Amino acid sequence: MGTECAYNSIAVVGTGGYGRHFISALLATRKFVRVRAVTRKTSDDAKRKRLQALQEMGAEIFEYKSSSTESFKQAFNGIHTVISAVSIAAVPDQISMIDGAILANVQWFIPSEYGVAHYPSVWMPFTSPLAPKTVVQKYLSDYAKPKGLSYTIVYTGLALDYLDPKSLGLKLSTGSATLVGRGGSPVSFTAFPDVVSLVVNIVQRPAEMQNRFIRFAGSTTKMRELVKIVTNNDRGENVKIVCIEEAKSKFCELARRQDMSAFQIYSRLLIEEGLGQINRYREPLDNSLFPELHPEPIQQTLRRLIKANEATAKAKLKPNPAHRSATTKSVTDGLGRTQKQLDGED
């Protein structure tokens, strides 16, 4: 990697989950003359604090009122590279983002992915929740690229330290698990900080990284291996097995009621079908292009999460001195006499 980045003016759209970490890591490289956070206009206090913190680190802030082409054209004025880190709900807005980027002469657009590849499911007769992301990919390759806007699609598999492990059936607090099927299909995982390092690395290497897919997996393992770590045994104790047909009917029942928990069952079915592996059809992984990255293996991520969970549980059990003094105060008259003394029992 060169010491200076040719595409040194960058915007990140979305300041939530991944976005704000991309912004702070980009600023930390000191390779960019401009790092701009592009965010929806808000008066929400928590978000204002988040924006203020980013600004204090050195980010420019651009707030937009509507997801129109014109708004994004203004947002990307003077920008070479756009990283989109918008939520799944905002994926379709990326079409006007791309149109705005073309009008603003942006040269490189990285759409919001950082997850699994878009393989069609044979098991599930439903449109994939990833379908809008596929539309964006097609728009980039067929429409935007001929107009001079390059793209990079980044697949990293699942980030267990970002998702709630419970959503995959791993119950850390009780050391138990629920598996859909045998848990025997390989799944790609990359820990959250490694995804951030990867994206920051990619945007500094335009010549090598443009107009291609990057498949990076911190590690690949089967769900049943993770279940062994969580339940601390390999005999299936504390493991509830849900049959595939049973999960499919539960999914259909919930989906018909438009119950959002249907999505969790859907994800677990797709994992068991093998669609959580970003190189399911033997597409080569690109890890060797990033020798400076040393991703955390999933087993280590999981152990880290289990430890953090135990520490939180312990902290909840431990008598907190602050709480104790608050209680003491509540039963004294403010001069140190306890309620018992005041009641004349001593």
Ligand X SMILES: NC(=O)c1ccc[n+]([C@@H]2O[C@H](COP(=O)([O-])OP(=O)(O)OC[C@H]3O[C@@H](n4cnc5c(N)ncnc54)[C@H](OP(=O)(O)O)[C@@H]3O)[C@@H](O)[C@H]2O)c1
Residue ranges in contact with ligand X by CB under 6 A? 14-19, 39-40, 47, 85-90, 112-115, 158-159, 162-163
Least distance to ligand X, CB of residue 6, Å: 26
Nearer to ligand X, 1 or 131 (CB): 131
Token representation of residue 165: 């492990």
Nearest distance from C-beta of residue 235 to ligand X, angstroms: 29
Give the nearer residue to ligand X in terms of CB position, either 5 or 158.
Answer: 158
Nearer Cβ to ligand X (89/315):
89
| Shortest Å, Cβ 140 to ligand X | 14
Residue (217 or 331) nearer to ligand X, CB: 217
- State which residue has the least CB distance to ligand X: 16
158 vs 318, beta carbon nearer ligand X? 158
In angstroms, what CA-CA distances link 101 with 13, 39, 81, 89, 137?
12, 15, 9, 20, 15
Q: What's the rounded Cα separation, in Å, for the pair 32 and 200?
A: 11
- Minimum Å distance from CB 278 to ligand X? 10
99 touches 72 (CB < 8 A): yes
| Beta carbon of residue 81, minimum distance to ligand X (angstroms, whole number) | 17
Give the Å distances, CA to CA, from 106 to 13, 25, 75, 187: 14, 21, 11, 35
Rama region for 297: left / alpha / beta (φ>0; ψ in -120 to 50; rest) = beta
Pairing of strands 108-110, 81-84: parallel
Residue with tokens 């990284």: 209
State which amino acid sits at residue 291.
P
Give the whole-angstrom CA distance, residue 237 versus residue 28. 46
Q: CB of residue 236 vs ligand X: minimum separation in angstroms?
A: 26
Q: Which is nearer to ligand X, 119 or 207 (CB)?
A: 119
